């Protein structure tokens, strides 16, 4: 929190923290209005994406799944793009439209996958990927007609925490109770690793569990995307990384993924704003740069001993 | 939910409710092709039931119906008198445990983790760790507890999943071909264990392919054929040769030997039945038994004579339902049996004289063979005969048209080399 284009010493940091927000002290303003919301946001978004990633990978029994395959992120991105074109960039409306876009996409994909009262996870996956492509195409069309806002849209799509305010943090904090939801379903999630049929045989109310978990993952994703754009790799890599470290049992996998996601994104954002200061690298680029080599290393090292 | 008791006939006592009742149940994934057709049966507490039937006869689907994973399209499936569709999954898992045929888990959970999952349906009434420990010990796989499940062999996985099911502590255990990935010693160990569990009050329903295992272990059998019940009842009645021929399209032979009952099978006679001609065996003392089977299996019509009743060849022939000339036990061949033998010989395309010990009692068989030779019939003789001959008469066969063959194997090989119709 001390590092950034304008350095604050640890002592200064401590002082600002204890003193609380002060209107006329530039250091305090940097700390409270720029750094603090940013770090909190990175923390919450990282946690949300990691938890959503764990849920979806296990529900689909597909290690390539990440929070973006449900199409929710593309829906949210479209909402945000529309907001930017309408000149609402940076406002609460952008976040609102992104959320609406994400949840509307979920509803659509959900309806497609629902047959005879059951959710077919494969159809859900395929419908989600299809919706992703379709919505991306729509976003491209919108961008072609939005010469002026092109830069803003592109930057938003790449994912960034720059210029985020406490308003964004408040939106992001909605995600916190949703992150807690899967912690109440760790047993069910473990059993579901054996497939839906076996879970039914062992007494799990599979449909209810799926509904709760998919909606939770979608809400987490929509909230994350709505405040920070599309940040790649966290939701895909963190669950794998943590599984390699502590195994697939959800009692440890979920909370540790949550913390690792938060930590990874905080560090990534730190690098994003300091490496080429005073300019910024999109944080999604940084996560990919950190995540890819670490992941390949862990895969090569093999399973946990 | 409270409606269930009303469905019972008024005169039935409450404790007469079967544990599981399948009532005229039908099921189809695709309406064009029903998988289960109007199946009815009931399980009592403590039943030990095997379910057999050809591939695709609906066995696995039936288990899924009993467990409530599938709902019957028509009819009803009742557990404790209550329709399965009224059960919440957790409550059903407390009544019925299922060991599926296929089990996929790619994630690196330990065997202990997997077994503990069985305790899910029991909520907080037990400690998953301790019931898992008990089940692992019971199945003799405590040493596997810390191993990663995906790295187990097929048989070890099978045992781990059985342990998982036992942890459910349900009153009914359904198993779908549990023996398919086990070697013979583990198969027997598994069925002994099931019998033991059954003795402790567990109701067991087991789908299996091996009819001899079914015959050995289960007290009642349900035979399914094309989705319907072909037979349902005490094991030996349900597995009668007639049922097996109708269901599997093979000839089945039920043997009783040394206190055990077992089945052997041979392909069904081709339609028309006489494609390969008729072979008459002159044998006895067990020298013809394997030829009877081999020749029948190859599609020949086989007859034999003269045999003494209860001679082991005569027993085999009776099991195979062959036409035979039979004399009373231990009696020398009388006129009636001899005449019958001549009649059978006359209709045969080939006569085979096995290495039967010839003595005074059966000397007339040699006489019958000579008569056939005189008629110009084809006669093959196993070389071993000469060593067994106490009458000294057989050696003279060397001077006849009879063809000497080294042994059974050579005989069958020679027959196989002949064009299909040569024997006629």
Give per-residue pLDDT as tens, A88-136: 666 677 778 888 888 888 888 888 887 766 777 788 888 888 999 999 8
C-alpha B316/C-alpha A57 separation (Å) is 62
CB B42 within 8 A of CB B18: yes
Sheet-wide strand order for B203-207:
B96-99, B172-176, B203-207, B48-52, B220-225, B228-234
**Which residues of chain B are within 8 Å of residue A187 when distances are taken between CB atoms?**
117, 120
Average pLDDT over residues B127-142: 91
Cβ-in-10-Å burial (0-12, 13-18, 19+) of A66 comes to buried
Q: What residues in B contact A188, CB-CB < 8 Å?
A: 120
Interchain pair B69, A200: CB under 8 A? yes
Q: Do B89 and A249 touch (CB under 8 A)?
A: no
User: What is the pTM (predicted TM-score) of this model?
Assistant: 0.74
d(CA A231, CA A233): 7
Q: How confident is the model at residue B422 (pLDDT cuts 50, 70, 90)?
A: very low
pLDDT one-digit tens code per residue, B44-89: 999 999 999 998 899 999 999 999 999 999 999 999 999 999 999 9
Render pLDDT for B273-295 as a digit per residue (tens, 0 to 9). 455 788 999 999 889 998 998 88
Domains and CATH numbers, chain B: 4-263 (3.40.50.300), 278-417 (3.40.50.1260)
Rounded to two decimals, the ipTM of the complex is 0.78
pLDDT exceeds cutoff 70 at B317: yes
CB-based contact B117 A205, cutoff 8 Å: no
Measured CA distances, A237 to A226, A240, A299, B357, B361 (Å) = 21, 5, 11, 81, 88
**Domains of chain A with CATH codes:** 42-301 (1.10.3470.10)
Q: What is the pLDDT of residues B395-420, one digit of tens each?
A: 888 888 888 998 888 888 888 887 65
The stretch A237-254 carries a mean pLDDT of 89
pLDDT for position B162: 94
Taking the C-alpha atoms of residue B75 and residue B7, their distance in angstroms, rounded to an integer, is: 13
Instruction: Show residues of chain A in contact with B94, CB under 8 Å.
Output: 203
Residue whose C-alpha is closest to residue B201's, from B380, B38, B44, B315: B44
Nearest CA distance, A21 vs chain B (angstrom)? 49
């Amino acid at each position: 929190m001390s590092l950034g284009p304008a350095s604050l010493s640890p002592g200064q940091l401590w002082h600002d923290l204890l003193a609380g927000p002060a209107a006329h002290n530039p250091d305090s303003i940097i700390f409270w209005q720029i750094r603090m919301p940013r770090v909190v946001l990175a923390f919450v978004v990282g946690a949300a994406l990691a938890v959503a990633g764990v849920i979806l990978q296990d529900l689909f029994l597909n290690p390539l799944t990440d929070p973006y395959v449900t199409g929710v992120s593309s829906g949210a991105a479209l909402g945000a793009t529309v907001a930017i074109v309408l000149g609402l960039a940076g406002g609460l409306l952008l976040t609102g439209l992104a959320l609406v876009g994400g949840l509307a996409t979920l509803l659509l994909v959900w309806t497609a996958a629902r047959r005879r009262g059951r959710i077919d996870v494969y159809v859900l996956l395929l419908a989600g990927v299809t919706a992703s492509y379709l919505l991306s195409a729509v976003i491209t069309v919108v961008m072609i007609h939005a010469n002026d806002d092109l830069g803003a849209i592109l930057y938003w799509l790449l994912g960034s925490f720059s210029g985020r305010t406490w308003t964004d943090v408040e939106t992001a904090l909605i995600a916190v109770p949703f992150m807690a939801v899967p912690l109440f379903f760790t047993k069910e999630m473990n059993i579901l690793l054996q497939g839906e049929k076996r879970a039914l045989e062992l007494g799990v109310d599979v449909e209810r569990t799926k509904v709760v978990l998919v909606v939770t993952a979608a809400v987490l994703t929509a909230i994350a995307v709505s405040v920070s754009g599309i940040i790649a790799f966290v939701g895909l890599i963190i669950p794998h990384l943590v599984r390699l470290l502590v195994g697939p049992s959800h009692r440890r996998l979920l909370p540790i993924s949550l913390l690792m996601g938060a930590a990874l994104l905080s560090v990534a954002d730190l690098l994003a704003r300091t490496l080429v200061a005073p300019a910024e690298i999109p944080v999604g680029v940084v996560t990919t740069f950190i995540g890819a080599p670490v992941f390949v290393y862990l895969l090569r090292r093999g399973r946990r001993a | 939910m409270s409606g269930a008791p009303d469905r019972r006939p008024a005169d039935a006592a409450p404790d007469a409710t079967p544990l599981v009742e399948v009532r005229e149940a039908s099921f189809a994934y695709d309406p064009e092709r029903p998988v289960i057709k109007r199946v009815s049966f009931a399980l009592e507490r403590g039943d030990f039931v095997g379910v057999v039937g050809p591939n695709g006869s609906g066995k696995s689907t039936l288990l899924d119906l009993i467990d409530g994973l599938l709902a019957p399209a028509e009819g009803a499936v009742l557990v404790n008198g209550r329709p399965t569709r009224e059960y919440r999954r957790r409550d059903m898992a407390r009544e019925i445990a299922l060991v599926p045929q296929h089990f996929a888990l790619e994630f690196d959970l330990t065997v202990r983790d997997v077994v503990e999952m069985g305790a899910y349906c029991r909520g907080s009434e037990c400690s998953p760790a301790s019931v898992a420990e008990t089940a692992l010990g019971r199945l003799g796989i405590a040493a596997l507890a810390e191993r990663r499940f995906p790295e187990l062999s097929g048989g070890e996985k099978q045992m781990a999943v059985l342990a998982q099911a036992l942890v459910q502590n349900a009153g009914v255990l359904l198993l779908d071909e549990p023996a398919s990935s086990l070697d013979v010693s583990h198969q027997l160990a598994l069925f002994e264990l099931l019998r033991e569990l059954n003795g402790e009050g567990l109701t067991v329903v087991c789908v299996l392919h091996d009819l001899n295992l079914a015959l050995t272990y289960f007290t009642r059998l349900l035979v399914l054929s094309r989705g319907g019940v072909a037979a349902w009842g005490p094991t030996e009645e349900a597995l009668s040769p007639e049922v097996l021929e109708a269901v599997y399209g093979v000839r089945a032979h039920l043997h009783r030997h040394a206190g055990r009952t077992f089945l052997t099978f041979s392909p069904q006679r081709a339609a028309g039945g006489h494609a390969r001609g008729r072979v008459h065996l002159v044998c006895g003392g067990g020298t013809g038994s394997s030829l009877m089977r081999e020749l029948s299996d190859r599609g020949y019509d086989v007859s034999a004579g003269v045999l003494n009743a209860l001679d082991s060849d005569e027993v085999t022939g009776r099991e195979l339902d062959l036409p035979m000339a039979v004399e009373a036990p231990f009696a020398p061949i009388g006129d009636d049996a001899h005449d019958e033998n001549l009649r059978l010989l006359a209709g045969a395309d080939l006569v085979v004289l096995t290495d039967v010990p010839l003595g005074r009692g059966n000397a007339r068989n040699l006489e019958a063979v000579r008569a056939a030779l005189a008629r110009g019939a084809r006669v093959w003789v196993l070389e071993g005969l000469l060593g067994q001959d106490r009458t000294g008469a057989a050696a003279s066969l060397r001077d006849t048209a009879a063809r000497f063959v080294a042994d059974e194997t050579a005989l069958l090989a020679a027959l196989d080399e002949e064009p299909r119709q040569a024997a006629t």
